[in-house]
C-alpha cells in the first residue's frame, strides 16, 4: 500500500512539474491596447480568457491604453512586445524618427478602414461635407480625424474651417451644447457618447472618411523590432490565435463582451455590445476588408496612404511603407477566413 501511495505521489509530482514547466516555457507577450477596455477590446481579451494564446505557447497580458501614440511609444521603448495602434500614427513615428533603429512594425491589419468620421447634429443644417465650410469644428489636437481632416476637406471640396481644442471627455458635450458645429472622432466612440448625452443616433449626421473619398487604413496589430527579430514564431502564433478569437467575436459580439466586463466591472454591457458591433460593421467586416482579405493590405493603397500622411502630417522624412509593414507572419488563408457568412 505504501509503495502504491509513493508511486501515486510521484506521478502527481511529475504532473505538477510538467504543468509548471509548460507554463514557465510559455513566451510572455505584453500587449498594449490603444484605448480603454471598451467593446473592441473583446477582440484581444476573448482569446486570452479562452486560452487560445496559452495553447499557442504564449502568456499574453493585455493592458488598457490612452491613444495610439502612447501604444507605439511603449512598444518602441521595449516596455511592451506588441500593441494595437492607428497605422497613420505608426507612419508618422517612422518618418519622424529616422535615427531610431528598431521601430515597431505593423503585422496584421484589423481596422481595414479608418474609424474617423465627421459628426454634426442634423438640426444644425449640416448634412454633407460641403456644409462644413466656415463652420467651427472641435476635437482633441491628437485626434486621428482632426489630423487627417485636410484629406477629407480636399476630397470633398470643403473650404476653411475653425478648430476648437478640448480634452476627449468634453468633445461630445461641447457639440451638444452648441459650442461647436461638428466634431471629428471614431464613429463607434463619438456616436455612442452622443447618445449617452441624450442625442438620438437618428439626429446625428455621420460622415465617415471611408465613405467620403478618404481610404486610409485604421488600426493594426504592431510588434516590436526585437520580437520580430528574436522570436518570429511568437508573432506568428499570436496572429493565428488572435484570428481564431476574432472569428468567434464577430460571430457572437454579445457573448464576447463578457470578457471585457471581466477586466472592467463597471462597463455597460449593452452599450459596449453596440460599440463592438458598430466597429465590426464599419471598420472590420467591410467590403474593402473582404476584398483584400482579413489582416491583409493592398500595396497600392498602402503606398497612397504613405504619401498622403507624409504630406498632411508634414513628416521629417517621407513615409516608406515597405519598412513599417511586415505581412510574412500572417496565418494561412484558411485561418484568415473569419468573416461571418452572408
129: Cβ contacts below 8 Å, ≥ 6 apart: 118, 152, 153, 156, 157, 158, 207, 212
Q: How far apart are CA 198 and CA 209, in angstroms?
A: 25
Q: How confident is the model at residue 9, as a pLDDT?
A: 56
User: What does the pLDDT read at residue 19?
Assistant: 45
Alpha helix locations (H) across 80-231? 87-96, 144-147, 149-156, 171-177, 187-196, 225-230
CB 214 within 8 A of CB 114: yes
**3-class state of residue 227 by DSSP:** helix
Domains and CATH numbers, the chain: 26-113+217-336 (3.40.190.10), 117-211 (3.40.190.10)
Radius of gyration of the chain (CA): 22
Q: Walk along the chain (342 residues) and give the pLDDT tens digit of each residue.
A: 555 555 545 545 545 544 444 445 899 999 999 999 999 999 999 999 999 999 999 999 999 999 999 999 999 999 999 999 999 999 999 999 999 999 999 999 999 999 999 999 999 999 999 999 999 999 999 999 999 999 999 999 999 999 999 999 999 999 999 999 999 999 999 999 999 999 999 999 999 999 999 999 999 999 999 999 999 999 999 999 999 999 999 999 999 999 999 999 999 999 999 999 999 999 999 999 999 999 999 999 999 999 999 999 999 999 999 999 999 999 999 999 999 987
Residues 6+ apart with CB under 8 A from 187: 115, 116, 117, 119, 206, 208, 278, 282
239, 330 contact by CB (below 8 A): yes
Please provide residue 326's backbone torsions phi and psi, each rounded to the nearest 5 degrees: -135, 100
Find, among 124, 118, 215, the residue nearest to 163 by Cα: 118
Q: What is the pLDDT, as a whole number, of residue 5?
A: 54
Please give the pLDDT value at position 342: 72
Q: Could you tell me the end-to-end alpha-carbon distance of the chain, in angstroms, rounded to an integer?
A: 63
DSSP annotation of 223 reads: E
Q: How many Cα neighbours within 13 Å face the side chain of 274?
A: 14
Q: Please choose, from the candidates 315, 340, 90, 94, the residue with its C-alpha nearest in 3D space to the C-alpha of residue 220.
A: 90
β-partners of residue 325 are 106
3-state secondary structure of 109: strand
**The pLDDT value given to residue 25:** 80
Amino acid at each position: 500500500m505504501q509503495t502504491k501511495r509513493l508511486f501515486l505521489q510521484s506521478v502527481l509530482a511529475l504532473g505538477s512539474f510538467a504543468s509548471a514547466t509548460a507554463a514557465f516555457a510559455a513566451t510572455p507577450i505584453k500587449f498594449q491596447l490603444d484605448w480603454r477596455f471598451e467593446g473592441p477590446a473583446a477582440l484581444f481579451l476573448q482569446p486570452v480568457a479562452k486560452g487560445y494564446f496559452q495553447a499557442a505557447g504564449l502568456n499574453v497580458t493585455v493592458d488598457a491604453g490612452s491613444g495610439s501614440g502612447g501604444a507605439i511609444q511603449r512598444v518602441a521603448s521595449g516596455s511592451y512586445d506588441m500593441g494595437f495602434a492607428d497605422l497613420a500614427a505608426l507612419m508618422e513615428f517612422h518618418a519622424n524618427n529616422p535615427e531610431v533603429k528598431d521601430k515597431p512594425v505593423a503585422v496584421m491589419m484589423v481596422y481595414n478602414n479608418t474609424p474617423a468620421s465627421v459628426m454634426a447634429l442634423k438640426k444644425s443644417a449640416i448634412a454633407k461635407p460641403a456644409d462644413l465650410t466656415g463652420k467651427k469644428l472641435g476635437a482633441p489636437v491628437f485626434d486621428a480625424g482632426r489630423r487627417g481632416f485636410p484629406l477629407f476637406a480636399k476630397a470633398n471640396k470643403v473650404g476653411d474651417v475653425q478648430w476648437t481644442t478640448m480634452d476627449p471627455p468634453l468633445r461630445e458635450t461641447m457639440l451638444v451644447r452648441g459650442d461647436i458645429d461638428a466634431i471629428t472622432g471614431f464613429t463607434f466612440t463619438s456616436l455612442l457618447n452622443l447618445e449617452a448625452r441624450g442625442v438620438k443616433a437618428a439626429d446625428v449626421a455621420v460622415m465617415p472618411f471611408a465613405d467620403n473619398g478618404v481610404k486610409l487604413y485604421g488600426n493594426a496589430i504592431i510588434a516590436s523590432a526585437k520580437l520580430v527579430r528574436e522570436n518570429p514564431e511568437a508573432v506568428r502564433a499570436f496572429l493565428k490565435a488572435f484570428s481564431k478569437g476574432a472569428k468567434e467575436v464577430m460571430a457572437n459580439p454579445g457573448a464576447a463582451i463578457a470578457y471585457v466586463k471581466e477586466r472592467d466591472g463597471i462597463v455597460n454591457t449593452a452599450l459596449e455590445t453596440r460599440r463592438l458591433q458598430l466597429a465590426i460593421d464599419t471598420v472590420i467586416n467591410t467590403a474593402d476588408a473582404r476584398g483584400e482579405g482579413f489582416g491583409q493590405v493592398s500595396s497600392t493603397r498602402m503606398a497612397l496612404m504613405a504619401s498622403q500622411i507624409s504630406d498632411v502630417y508634414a513628416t521629417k522624412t517621407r513615409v516608406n511603407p515597405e519598412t513599417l509593414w511586415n505581412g510574412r507572419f500572417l496565418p494561412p488563408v484558411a485561418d484568415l477566413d473569419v468573416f461571418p457568412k452572408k
